[in-house]
Structure 1
C-alpha cells in the first residue's frame, strides 16, 4: 500500500508546480508568457491535457525569446504532469531535458533543480529503480532549505529503502522525522503509519495495530482522507492472515474511500483483498469490478501518454514544417536541384538494395529451411526415442504382467495402464520441467479455462510453493488436474475457484465450483481413489465441505511438510 506515500509525493509535486511558478519571473523587466500563465490556471482546474499543451507552447515561446530558464521550468512542470498520470518514462525524459537548461551554481535555479531531481526520484521509484531514486533524492536535498521540503524528501528516501527491503534504514529515517516534528504535526499520522509498517515488515512479531488505529483517529482530526485510506489499507493487510472478518471490514472501507478520492490504484488493492477473503458469487462480483477498474485505469494512463506524445509531436512537426518552408522560400531553385540529385541517388541505392536484399533473402530462406528440416528430423528422432522408452516399454511391462500373473486383479492392471497413460501424456511437458511451479499450475488451469467455464485462481505465487518438496508439488499437480478433469466431464460448472492459503507451516488448497455436485448415492471411483492415494503419499487430508446441488467444495490440508 502506497497511499500515505502518495500523500507526500502529491504535496511535494504540486508545491513544486506552485513554487516554480512563483520563481519564474526573477527579473521584473522580463515579458510575461501568456501560454505559461494559462497552463497554471488549467492545472488548478485539473485539466491535465490542456495544461500540458500550454506548457509546451510556453516552452516554444521561451525558446524564441532565448530564455533557457523559462524553457527549463516548462519542462519540469511537464515532467510532473506526466508522472502524475503514470507516464514515468516520458516524465524522466522531460526532466532530463530540463536539466540541460538548469544551472546548479545559480541560486535562482535552486527550487526548479529541487523539483526536477525530486520528480526524477519519484518516477524512478515508480519504475522500481530504487538506487536511482535515492541518488536523485539526495541530489534534491542540495537545493532546498525549506523544512517541509526536506521532511518530504527524507520520507521519500525512507520509502525507497522500504521498497528495496532495507527496513532498518527506513525505520531509522522515520524515527528521526517523527522525533523532529512531534505528535501535533499534520504530518505525524502519515509518518507514524509508514514507520509502523516498516517495523512490522522487519519483525513479524511487532504489533503495529496500536499505531495504525492512532493514525486513523488523528487523520479524522485533521480531516485527511488520504491518511485514513492508508490506515485502512495497512489494517486490512495486518488482519489478512489473522482475522479475515476484520480484514474484510477495512478493505471495504478502503474501497469506499478510494472511490471518493477517485484513486483507482487503491480501489484495485482493496478489491484484491476482498477477492481473497470472499466466496462464491461475491468473489465474482469483486473480480468483475476489479477487471473494469483495471481496464479503466490502463486506458486512462495510455490515453494520457498518447496525448502528451501527440502534443509534443505536433509541436515539433509544426516547427519542422515551418523551417522547411522558410528554407524553400529562401533558395527554391537550389532545393530543387538538391532534391533531383537526392532522388537519383535514392533510386540508385534503392535498386542496389533491392538486388542485394533479393539474393540475401533467398540465401537466408534456403539456410532457414535447411535448419528447420534438420531440427524437425532431430525432434522426430528424439520423440521416437522417448515414445519407445515410455510407451513401448510400458506396454511390454503390462503384457509381461498379464502373461506371468494369471490371477492379476483388475484394479492393479488399471493402475499400471493409468500410470503408463500419464507418462505418455506428460511427454509434451518435458521441456517445461524447469519452469517455476506457480507458472506450471497457471498453465494447467488455463488449459481448462474457457468462455463456458471461468476459473479464478488466488494465492498461486512463488512464496506458496518455494518451501514445498518436489514430491508434494508433483502430487498436488496431478490432484488438481484430476479435479479439473472431473469438473469438465461431470459437473457442468460455469465458475471454478482455486485458492492457495498458507499460514506458517500449514498449507491449504481449496477447490470450489457451482456445478451439480456429487450425487447423493456417490460411490468412489478411480478418480477419487487416486486422489486419496496421492494425498496419503504426501501426508495430506481431503475434506469435502459441500457436495450436492449447490456445487462442490473441498479442501486439501497439509501440515509441516516443508523441506
Structure 2
C-alpha cells in the first residue's frame, strides 16, 4: 500500500522540481537550430501535456535521435521525458535503462538531481532498496534547492518504510515535517504527515492515529482526491484488526476514489483491504474483481513495455540503416571523385603525350620534306639556274633542254607535295590509294595490286586508312630510291578482325638495304599507334618483303 502512495507522492513533487529546474532549458530547446528536432520535440510536448504518453514517447525518441545539430542538454531532456513516461506506465526497468543512458551522454550536472531521483524511484519499485537509497542520497547532495532537498528527504524516509526500517523513517520524516517549505505547503505537509503516521503505526506508536487523521482532514479540506486514496487505505489498514467495520468503510472509500480518478493499482490495493476486513460472502466476489483488474493492468503494462522497447529497437535499426546508406553514399562519392581524378589524369596524360607525338611527327615530317627538297631538288634547281646563265637559250635545242629540266623539277616538286598532302578517307579512299600506288609505275618498274576489292574501306577507321596509305607510300618511295627492282607486288588480305597487306619486290635485297629502315620510322610509328605491326624481311639477291597487319 505504501508503494502506491509513494508513487503519487514522488510524481507530484517530482514534477514540481522538474519544471522549476528545466523550464529555462526547455525554452532554449525550442530555439534549436535543427528544424527537424523542433518539429518532433514540439509535437512530443503537445502529446505529453495531453497525456498521450505512448505517442509522446515515440516523438521524444525521434527528437533525441537527431544527433547532428542536437545539443547535450536537448538529448538529456528528451531522455528525461522518456524515463518519466516509462515510470508513469510502471516500466521501471525500462526507465532505469533510459536514465542510465542519459547519464552516459550527460556533460552537465544540471539534470543530475532529477536523474538521480528518478533512478531512485526505478530501483525502489524493483525492490532494490539499497541502490534506491544510494541514488536518493546522491540526488540530495547534487541539489542546492532547499525545497527539492525536502522532497528527497521524504523519499528517503519512504524507502526506510518500504525496507521496514521504521525508526529511521520516523527520524527522517520528523526532520522533513519541521522544514519551512513543508510547513507552508498543505499538500506536501499532509503527505509527510501521512508517511510519518504510517511509520508510527508500524511500530504500534499511539501517535499514529493523530497523524493519519490530521492528514486525512487536510486532504479532505483542500479536495486532494488523489492523495485521499492513500489516507483511506492507511486508515483501513490501521483499523483492520481493531475495528473491521470501520476498516471496511475506509477500504470502500479508497476503492470509490480510485475508481473515480481511474487509478487501477489503487483499486486493487483497496480491494485487498476490503477482502481482509469483509465477511466470507464477499471474499470470492472481491477476489474475482481483483483478479480481473490485475489482469487488465498487467496486459496494458506489458503492452506499454513491449511498445517502448519496440520503439527503441525499430529506431535503432532505422538509424543503423540510415548510417549504412550514408556511409555507402559517402563511399560512392569518394569513389566517383577518385575515378574522376584518375580519368582526368589519364586523359590529360594521353592528350599531352599525343600533343608531344604530333609535334614530333610534325617536326620529323618537316625535316624529311626539307631533306628531300635539299637532296632531290636543290642541286637540280642550282644546275638549271647555272644552265640558264651559261647557255645560249636562243638555241632551240638548249632552250628545250632547259624546259625539260624545269618540267622534271616541277614533277618531282608536285610528287613531294602530293605525298604530304591531306588524305581523303571518305568514299574515294580506295581510288586514291590505287592512284597513289599506280603513280610509281614507270618504264622500269611495274607495280601489281592484288585483291584490293576484298577490303571494305568504308568500314575501316580513319586513322587506320591514313596509316596504311602513308606506310605503302613510304615503302614505294624507298623502293624507288634503293631497291633497283623491276616488279613490285602489293597483295591485300581481309580476315574478320585484321587487314593484312604484303609488299614484295625483286630488288637487290641485300642486308645493306635495311639501312634505309630509318626512312620508314614514321610509318612504323603510325602502325604501332593503331595497335598494328610492320615487319621487314630481306636477303641478298632475293628482294625485299614487308608485311603490314592492322585492325579492321
| Cα contact 1:219–1:227 (8 A) shared by 2 | yes
Shift of 1:68: 2.2
| Cα contact 1:8–1:152 (8 A) shared by 2 | no
Shift of 1:163: 1.3
| Cα contact 1:252–1:274 (8 A) shared by 2 | yes
**Structural mapping, 1:49-448, within 5 Å:** 49-61=54-66, 63-103=67-107, 106=108, 109-110=109-110, 112-181=111-180, 185-186=185-186, 187-201=188-202, 203-329=203-329
Matched, 1:23 2:25: yes
Shift of 1:259: 1.0
Deviations 1:481-505 (A, max 9, x none): xxxxxxxxxxxxxxxxxxxxxxxxx
Question: Within 1, Cα distance between the matches of 2:243 and 2:315?
Answer: 56
Q: What SS does structure 1 have at the residue aligned with 2:65? A: helix
Deviations 1:9-36 (A, max 9, x none): 1123333553434313559974262212
| Cα contact 1:55–1:74 (8 A) shared by 2 | yes
Moved more, 256-265 or 278-287: 278-287
Question: Within 1, Cα distance between the matches of 2:14 and 2:291?
Answer: 30
Shift of 1:290: 0.4
Question: Within 1, Cα distance between the matches of 2:71 and 2:208?
Answer: 52
Matched, 1:8 2:22: no
| Cα contact 2:150–2:179 (8 A) shared by 1 | no
Q: What SS does structure 1 have at the residue aligned with 2:179? A: helix
Question: Within 2, Cα distance between the matches of 1:288 and 1:239?
Answer: 24
The alpha-carbon distance between structure 1 residues 129 and 138, as it changes in their structure 2 partners (threshold 3 A), is: same
The alpha-carbon distance between structure 1 residues 284 and 136, as it changes in their structure 2 partners (threshold 3 A), is: same
CA RMSD of aligned residues (A): 2.5
Question: Within 2, Cα distance between the matches of 1:270 and 1:28?
Answer: 43
Question: Within 2, Cα distance between the matches of 1:330 and 1:6?
Answer: 50
The alpha-carbon distance between structure 1 residues 29 and 278, as it changes in their structure 2 partners (threshold 3 A), is: closer
The alpha-carbon distance between structure 1 residues 16 and 34, as it changes in their structure 2 partners (threshold 3 A), is: farther
Q: What SS does structure 2 have at the residue aligned with 1:204? A: coil
Shift of 1:317: 1.1
The alpha-carbon distance between structure 1 residues 66 and 51, as it changes in their structure 2 partners (threshold 3 A), is: closer
Deviations 1:260-314 (A, max 9, x none): 1211111111111112233344222211110111011111111111111111111
| TM-score, normalisation: structure 2 | 0.56
The alpha-carbon distance between structure 1 residues 269 and 27, as it changes in their structure 2 partners (threshold 3 A), is: closer
Shift of 1:239: 0.8
| Cα contact 1:79–1:94 (8 A) shared by 2 | yes
Q: What SS does structure 2 have at the residue aligned with 1:9? A: helix
Shift of 1:185: 2.8
Shift of 1:159: 0.8
Question: Within 1, Cα distance between the matches of 2:240 and 2:53?
Answer: 37
Moved more, 223-232 or 279-288: 279-288
Q: What SS does structure 2 have at the residue aligned with 1:142? A: helix
The alpha-carbon distance between structure 1 residues 144 and 37, as it changes in their structure 2 partners (threshold 3 A), is: farther
| Cα contact 2:25–2:73 (8 A) shared by 1 | no
| Cα contact 1:69–1:101 (8 A) shared by 2 | no
In structure 2, runs of 5+ residues without a counterpart are: 336-552
The alpha-carbon distance between structure 1 residues 318 and 162, as it changes in their structure 2 partners (threshold 3 A), is: same
| Cα contact 2:87–2:122 (8 A) shared by 1 | yes
The corresponding residue for 1:476 is: none
Q: What SS does structure 2 have at the residue aligned with 1:120? A: helix
Deviations 1:297-355 (A, max 9, x none): 111111111111111111111111222333445558x99xxxxxxxxxxxxxxxxxxxx
Question: Within 2, Cα distance between the matches of 1:34 and 1:330?
Answer: 27
| Cα contact 2:201–2:209 (8 A) shared by 1 | no
| Cα contact 1:144–1:150 (8 A) shared by 2 | yes
**Structural mapping, 1:539-550, within 5 Å:** none
Question: Within 2, Cα distance between the matches of 1:119 and 1:37?
Answer: 23
Question: Within 1, Cα distance between the matches of 2:56 and 2:179?
Answer: 37
Shift of 1:37: 2.3
Question: Within 1, Cα distance between the matches of 2:27 and 2:54?
Answer: 24
Q: How many residues align?
A: 328
The alpha-carbon distance between structure 1 residues 37 and 15, as it changes in their structure 2 partners (threshold 3 A), is: farther
| Cα contact 2:13–2:151 (8 A) shared by 1 | yes
Question: Within 1, Cα distance between the matches of 2:63 and 2:50?
Answer: 18
The corresponding residue for 2:532 is: none
| Cα contact 1:13–1:80 (8 A) shared by 2 | no
Question: Within 2, Cα distance between the matches of 1:179 and 1:113?
Answer: 26
In structure 1, runs of 5+ residues without a counterpart are: 336-563
Deviations 1:538-563 (A, max 9, x none): xxxxxxxxxxxxxxxxxxxxxxxxxx
Question: Within 2, Cα distance between the matches of 1:41 and 1:29?
Answer: 16
Bigger Rg, structure 1 or 2: 2
